[in-house]
Chains A and B, each alone.
Chain A
Amino acid sequence: MSSIYLDHAATTPIRSEVREGMIAILDGDFGNPSSAHGWGRRAAAHLEDARQRVAEAIGADRSEIYFVRGGTESDNMAILGHAEAVRRQGGTPFAVVSAVEHKAVLGAAAEVGERGGRWSTVPVYADGTLDMDALDTALAAGASIVSVMTVNNEVGIRLPIKAVVERTQDHGAVFHTDAVQALGKIPVSVEDLPVDLLSLTGHKIYGAKGTGVLFVRRGVDITPLIFGGGQEQALRPGTEDVAGAVGMSIAVDLAVQEQESEAVRLRGLCDLLQSRLEDGIADLRVHGDVPNRAPHILNVGIPNVDPEALLAALDLEGIAASAGSACESGAQTASHVLLALYGRLEGVAALRFSPGHSTTEDDVIRAAEATMRVLERMPHVGARA
């Protein structure tokens, strides 16, 4: 039996356009963009074309796009880089982040605290709303940066970043959003939404791992985290990964071009999967079940089931899903996102399915059937007759 990959929110395969674009650089124009000779000039041209492509895709200016080595680096550069800029101007950095952020943002914010600044989290509710009073309190207390993700990676809820941007900027603080799960799934434009900083990664949109972008709106002050040469306007020194940048730019460009049609298709697949699971599992819950959630993530809860055994059993059936975010050791620990949204879910196994480009209706139907088959072995499940 062939396996079915339903974990595109964890990572995606590389699409052929990206691979071909990268190989052309790796095999051909391998030069160092800083070199003065022809090889260098050709590499520099590819790099700047790539920058242009990303800028146009998200409505930015070319000078506002920085190529970095992935989403975590992008989030860290935004939050810690801004904190350091605040500190150098004599202020006390204060990072305020939503409680459902990715670990890359939570970790960076905690590090602001470690380095003598402050940080706090703002609650997010099960209906996808953010505690605006808590946000206002933090802003009044001197928040220097607010970071709220565009789409949550575990449950797919869209956060109300438009409202948060306005309040944040009214208070003179800087706004960052981790848009890693949003690009290609919902419209992402820094023209329509005046965010100050925005993070993207390549490997969730059929690009390569280790590629990413940080958008920094002109005039926003960020201090580099590492130091060296003048690459990427000295914000991210080190010889540029031209192939990575080109691959990233193709991935971003295509993701944005295909967003509308892909969103409809992915929504359809998630809805089909949800209805099949609901038909078979009487006590199924849907996490992040709000009308405007992103189209590519379905997170369900099944009470009285051992989550680790469920995932392992699904894997043995050839179904790749996830319990939330992938943990480094492979063990599943309680999700801080579900904890923030629903409190402690005692004995509930959470399963995240995220279809992608290659997923068909047949795939999700088979995944639903496999889930039901596996649950028949598990005690205390309310399977419908």
Chain B
Amino acid sequence: MSGGVDSSVAAALLVEQGYDVVGATMKTFCYSGGGGEAPSKTCCGLDGITDARRVSDALGIPHYVFDVEEAFTRDVIDDFVSEYARGRTPNPCVRCNSNTKFKDLMKRGRLLGCDGIASGHYVRIDHSNVSAPALYRGVDTSKDQSYFLWGLPKEMLHLLHFPLGDLTKRQVREQARALGLVTADKPESQEICFVPTGNYRDLLEKRLEARHPALEPGLIIAGDGEVLGEHSGYANFTLGQRKGLGGGFGQPLYVIEIRADSREVVVGTAEEGASHGVEIGEVNWLTTPPPDDSPIHVQIRYRASAVPARVHSTDGSVTLAFDEPQRAVTPGQSAVFFEDERVLGGGRIERALVTAKSCQ
């Protein structure tokens, strides 16, 4: 329970359905001094803990705070920083869901005698096939959070409950108001929880050694090597980004590559930034892996549709060939595999494959 409206309603629905519910909030980083930033924000902070406690009290359920700061710092914040340092664009929420949140809750839940774990994510889970539970996109397409949950350990799926999967955000808010929950009208949290100001560069400056190349000036170049300008650190860029490049190039230019070794940010046209395929690491399958050359759909950004591709599995990594070339295939972001609405698995994008041949 983050103290937001979603987890509040998720808990309320479970209570309504007759479950014996125990509320838990994970304290993920220090709010009151030391490493933390602003002490108050929508989710995760002390505010969040207080609201989660108030909601739990109103629902008549116990509530506990679990300090996971050490693991969260190691698995999520440190990874976030090192990914940017390598010129990549991390998904910290994926890391948290895959490595920290659910695993820790499961471990502690068992100690408390709990039989399952529920969260306020907008995804659906179907337990009708007991030996192979299936994870699906949430019904509310604008809130669907399946992109962030591909890393859940497969053997944990049978323990998970997502009470909001069949609801829209609007219905969730209505439910919260009907129940008189204090969190009913809380604003959405938009930012990364440990970067409440939205300015992740401050965090990088704090956590990277002085004069780290990621934060040092470098050149903005075209694909042919022509120097187009300067930038103040490649960590400020993500692939596909258009903003912050300056204008006057005649046609829209996008970041198409970040070269950490030489601190160069390469820009080009939309066509120049297109890839025929993608190499994916840290792959996690929530189903039996499909045979080679199977058609699947892959989603490569949170706010993007899944596109058709063919899968080639090798040991540990997966290569996908897109049916149509895709823009902004961004190392560090997640690639999530779907069959219609069902989440098959996913992984972390290692690199874009520029030519069709390299996809084989």
- Which A residues fall within an 8 A CB radius of B? 306, 308-313, 315-316, 328-333, 377-378
* Contact between A308 and B64, CB atoms less than 8 A apart: yes
Q: Within the complex, what minimum Cβ distance (angstroms) separates B15 from chain A? A: 16
* Contact between B67 and A333, CB atoms less than 8 A apart: yes
Assuming the A-B contacts A316-B22, A316-B62, are A331 and B67 also in contact, with contact meaning beta carbons closer than 8 angstroms in the complex? yes
* Contact between A329 and B27, CB atoms less than 8 A apart: yes
* Interface check B210, CB cutoff 8 A: no
Give the docked Cα–Cα distance between A377 and B22 (Å). 17
Residue of B63, B64, B65, B110 contacting most chain A CB atoms (<10 Å): B64
Residues of the B chain whose Cβ atoms lie less than 8 Å from the Cβ of A311? 64
Closest 10 CB pairs of A and B: A309-B111, A312-B64, A331-B65, A330-B65, A331-B27, A331-B67, A309-B108, A329-B49, A313-B112, A308-B66
Give the docked Cα–Cα distance between A333 and B70 (Å). 11
Q: Within the complex, what minimum Cβ distance (angstroms) separates A298 from chain B? A: 22
* Interface check B248, CB cutoff 8 A: no
* Contact between A377 and B67, CB atoms less than 8 A apart: no
Assuming the A-B contacts A329-B27, A329-B49, A330-B53, are A308 and B112 also in contact, with contact meaning beta carbons closer than 8 angstroms in the complex? no
Contact of B113 among A316, A331, A333 (CB under 8 A): A316
* Interface check B354, CB cutoff 8 A: no
Residues of the A chain whose Cβ atoms lie less than 8 Å from the Cβ of B66? 308-309, 331
Contact of B64 among A328, A330, A378 (CB under 8 A): A330
Main DSSP-derived SS at the B contact region: mixed
Give the docked Cα–Cα distance between A311 and B110 (Å). 14
Give the docked Cα–Cα distance between A328 and B31 (Å). 12
Closest to B22 in A: A316
Assuming the A-B contacts A330-B53, A332-B67, are A306 and B62 also in contact, with contact meaning beta carbons closer than 8 angstroms in the complex? no
Q: Within the complex, what minimum Cβ distance (angstroms) separates B73 from chain A? A: 14
Extra pairs beyond A315-B62, A315-B64 (6, CB < 8 Å): A312-B64, A312-B112, A316-B113, A329-B46, A329-B49, A331-B66
Residues of the A chain whose Cβ atoms lie less than 8 Å from the Cβ of B49? 329-331
* Contact between B65 and A377, CB atoms less than 8 A apart: no
Assuming the A-B contacts A313-B113, A330-B49, are A306 and B108 also in contact, with contact meaning beta carbons closer than 8 angstroms in the complex? yes
* Contact between B108 and A308, CB atoms less than 8 A apart: yes
Q: Within the complex, what minimum Cβ distance (angstroms) separates A172 from chain B? A: 36
Chain B 44-70, CB-CB to A under 8 Å as 1, else 0, gives 001001100100000000111111000
Chain B: residues with Cβ within 8 Å of the partner, total of: 19
Closest to B20 in A: A316
Residues of the A chain whose Cβ atoms lie less than 8 Å from the Cβ of B110? 377
Assuming the A-B contacts A306-B108, A377-B113, are A312 and B62 also in contact, with contact meaning beta carbons closer than 8 angstroms in the complex? yes
Number of A-B contacts (CB under 8 A): 53
- Can you list 30 A-B pairs, Cβ within 8 angstroms, ordered by A? A306-B107, A306-B108, A308-B65, A308-B66, A308-B108, A309-B111, A309-B112, A310-B111, A312-B64, A312-B111, A313-B113, A315-B62, A315-B64, A316-B62, A328-B46, A329-B27, A329-B46, A329-B49, A329-B50, A330-B49, A330-B63, A330-B64, A330-B65, A331-B65, A331-B66, A331-B67, A332-B65, A332-B67, A377-B111, A377-B113
Residues of the B chain whose Cβ atoms lie less than 8 Å from the Cβ of A329? 27, 31, 46, 49-50, 65
* Contact between B111 and A378, CB atoms less than 8 A apart: yes
Give the docked Cα–Cα distance between A329 and B49 (Å). 7
Chain B 92-124, CB-CB to A under 8 Å as 1, else 0, gives 000000000000000110111100000000000
* Contact between B67 and A313, CB atoms less than 8 A apart: no
* Contact between A313 and B111, CB atoms less than 8 A apart: yes
- Which B residues fall within an 8 A CB radius of A? 22, 27, 31, 46, 49-50, 53, 62-67, 107-108, 110-113
Residues of the B chain whose Cβ atoms lie less than 8 Å from the Cβ of A310? 111
Give the docked Cα–Cα distance between A332 and B50 (Å). 15
Residues of the A chain whose Cβ atoms lie less than 8 Å from the Cβ of B65? 308, 329-332
Give the docked Cα–Cα distance between A328 and B111 (Å). 24
Residues of the A chain whose Cβ atoms lie less than 8 Å from the Cβ of B50? 329
Residues of the B chain whose Cβ atoms lie less than 8 Å from the Cβ of A332? 65, 67
Give the docked Cα–Cα distance between A308 and B113 (Å). 14
* Contact between B27 and A306, CB atoms less than 8 A apart: no
Residues of the B chain whose Cβ atoms lie less than 8 Å from the Cβ of A316? 22, 62, 112-113
Q: Within the complex, what minimum Cβ distance (angstroms) separates A383 from chain B? A: 15
Closest to A377 in B: B111
Give the docked Cα–Cα distance between A329 and B64 (Å). 10
Q: Within the complex, what minimum Cβ distance (angstroms) separates B214 from chain A? A: 32
Give the docked Cα–Cα distance between A310 and B49 (Å). 20
Q: Within the complex, what minimum Cβ distance (angstroms) separates B253 from chain A? A: 47
Q: Within the complex, what minimum Cβ distance (angstroms) separates B82 from chain A? A: 26
Give the docked Cα–Cα distance between A309 and B63 (Å). 12
Closest to B67 in A: A331
Q: Within the complex, what minimum Cβ distance (angstroms) separates B54 from chain A? A: 12
Contact of B67 among A308, A315, A328, A378 (CB under 8 A): A308
Give the docked Cα–Cα distance between A146 and B49 (Å). 37
Give the docked Cα–Cα distance between A311 and B108 (Å). 11
Give the docked Cα–Cα distance between A306 and B65 (Å). 13
Give the docked Cα–Cα distance between A119 and B63 (Å). 38
Residues of the A chain whose Cβ atoms lie less than 8 Å from the Cβ of B22? 312, 316
Closest to B27 in A: A331
Closest to B49 in A: A329
Residues of the A chain whose Cβ atoms lie less than 8 Å from the Cβ of B31? 329
Residues of the B chain whose Cβ atoms lie less than 8 Å from the Cβ of A306? 107-108, 111
Give the docked Cα–Cα distance between A315 and B62 (Å). 8
Give the docked Cα–Cα distance between A332 and B26 (Å). 11
Give the docked Cα–Cα distance between A311 and B62 (Å). 12
Closest to A327 in B: B65
Residue of B63, B107, B111 contacting most chain A CB atoms (<10 Å): B111
Residue of B53, B67, B107 contacting most chain A CB atoms (<10 Å): B67
Residues of the B chain whose Cβ atoms lie less than 8 Å from the Cβ of A331? 27, 49, 65-67
Q: Within the complex, what minimum Cβ distance (angstroms) separates A60 from chain B? A: 37
Residue of A308, A311, A332 contacting most chain B CB atoms (<10 Å): A308
Residues of the A chain whose Cβ atoms lie less than 8 Å from the Cβ of B64? 308, 311-312, 315, 330
Give the docked Cα–Cα distance between A311 and B133 (Å). 33
Give the docked Cα–Cα distance between A327 and B218 (Å). 47
Residues of the B chain whose Cβ atoms lie less than 8 Å from the Cβ of A313? 111-113
Q: Within the complex, what minimum Cβ distance (angstroms) separates A135 from chain B? A: 29
Q: Within the complex, what minimum Cβ distance (angstroms) separates B119 from chain A? A: 18
Residues of the A chain whose Cβ atoms lie less than 8 Å from the Cβ of B112? 309, 312-313, 316
Q: Within the complex, what minimum Cβ distance (angstroms) separates B35 from chain A? A: 14
Residues of the B chain whose Cβ atoms lie less than 8 Å from the Cβ of A378? 111
Give the docked Cα–Cα distance between A316 and B22 (Å). 9
Give the docked Cα–Cα distance between A309 and B26 (Å). 12
